[in-house]
A = this chain, B = another copy of it.
Amino acid sequence: PNRLPGNATHQVGVAGAVLDEVSGKVLVVQDRNKTVNAWKFPGGLSDPGEDIGATAVREVFEETGIKSEFQSLLSIRQQHKHPGAFGKSDMYIICRLKPLSYNINFCSQECLRCEWMDLKELAYTSNTTPITSRIAKLLFYGYREGFHNIDLTVRTFPAVYSGLFYSLYHKELPATYETPE
């Protein structure tokens, strides 16, 4: 029987694109037991109650040993799984992170390889997944022409009914729109 309570229809995963703006290099991994030579961003599933940015930072550290901090949200991917799997779908979110350490110490159970790779190289290599390639191009665009072109920034709001807080991600709103002219 379908034991899903209420409407928890999605698992949520988060990947971190950790870009060192000084060198122009980005942190990439190759998974064990998957397609050979496919470079991708480290990441994994959210723990219950965990914020998107916190998942990205935790997963990057667990897989690669690199410490980082959340900068922005770049992209959302939705995929629907086979109807047999409780109709479960997944939402995968890619964040832009800033490195706080540089020495790789990767988890050999999860990763086959882990490197700092030139962002432009990742954007145009064939040794990657279609989505990693797309996001690498987007990140390269932001790196060249300003991250404001690609970033969704976060802001926290009080919820009206519950007293809890929301995190809201969208393109930066110019200050002139905060109040009526």
Contact = CB atoms under 8 A, between A and B. Distances in A.
Interface residues of A, number: 72
Tell me how many chains of this kind the complex includes. 2
A40 to B, nearest CB: 10
Contact of A170 (B50, B129, B150): B150
B89 A48 contact: yes
B4 A5 contact: yes
Contacts of A160: 35, 38, 129-130
Interface of A: 3-12, 34-35, 38, 45-46, 48-52, 73-81, 83, 85-89, 91, 93, 120, 123-124, 129-131, 134-135, 137-138, 140-141, 149-150, 152, 155, 157-161, 164-171, 173-174, 177-180
